[in-house]
Structure formats: structure tokens, C-alpha cells
Amino acid sequence: MDLLRINLISFKSNKNIDIFSKNDIKATIKYGYYYVITDTIKNNNYSFFNKEYLFKYIEDANIILKVYETDNILGDIEIYKEIIFKIKDRKICNNQLKFTYEIIYNEYDKHLMKKCFDTLYNNIIETKLTKIKAIV
């Protein structure tokens, strides 16, 4: 089974949305049917998450990362959003939200599948040869 590792590093807010203090930041990750909400980092415009998340790799799924200011009378206010439509093997993003992601390939699964397909192929060849011998 292949995995996707996402490492949220930090978020630097360019504006202070909270009126009486610095921002209270939380981030969310949506990937396929996965949804993760980080802990809220209070009173900090330069928040360090330094959290790593592992997900089962889903072909053609998008990664949606959002950052919210949480201490507001209107509720959570989205202050940053990034969508990754085409996931590459590995990427380091150094925007307001610093994060990395990479696909971790499981070589054992690939080896096991190759062995199964090779066995299937050999069985098909043997069956065809048996039928040809019966005809001849």
C-alpha cells in the first residue's frame, strides 16, 4: 500500500485579523475522504505546527489545505487556502503556509503483484501449450 506523507511546518500571517491580540491559527487538511484539523495555536502570527500526517495514497485525489483565524465573533475565518490538483512524488512548498508532501511507495507490494502476474502469465502459457498438445 502506497502512502502520502504531509508535513505541516509553519504559517506566517501577513495580517492580524484578531482585534485584541495576535491571530489564533488552526489548519485543516482534506485529502480524498480524509479530513484533519490541527490544534489551535493561540496568539501567534507566526505559528509552528511541525506535524506529520500519513494517509493511504489515493490516485487522482486533491490536497486542500486551509488556515483559519479561530478567535472571532463571526466564527472561524479562512485566511489562506491552497489546492494541489496534481500530486507529484515530492514537493516542498514555501509560501505563507510551509509544508512538504511526498508519496511513499511500497516496493514489497509491487514485488508481490509482479510475482502474482508472472504466475498467472505462466499458468496461461501452460494451459495454451496443453491445449495445443491435445490438438496435435
Residues 61-70 pLDDT 10s = 999 999 998 8
Q: Which of 70, 71, 36, 64 is nearest to 51 (CA)?
A: 36
Residues 1-32 pLDDT 10s = 788 999 999 998 877 776 777 888 999 999 99
Confidence class of residue 109 from pLDDT cuts 50, 70 and 90? low
What pTM did the predictor assign?
A: 0.74
Q: How far apart are CA 47 and CA 31, in angstroms?
A: 22
**Any residues with CB less than 8 A from the CB of 3 and at least 6 apart, and which?**
54, 55, 56, 57, 103, 104, 106
How is the chain split into domains, by residue range? 3-105, 106-136
CATH architecture label of 3-105: Sandwich (2.60)
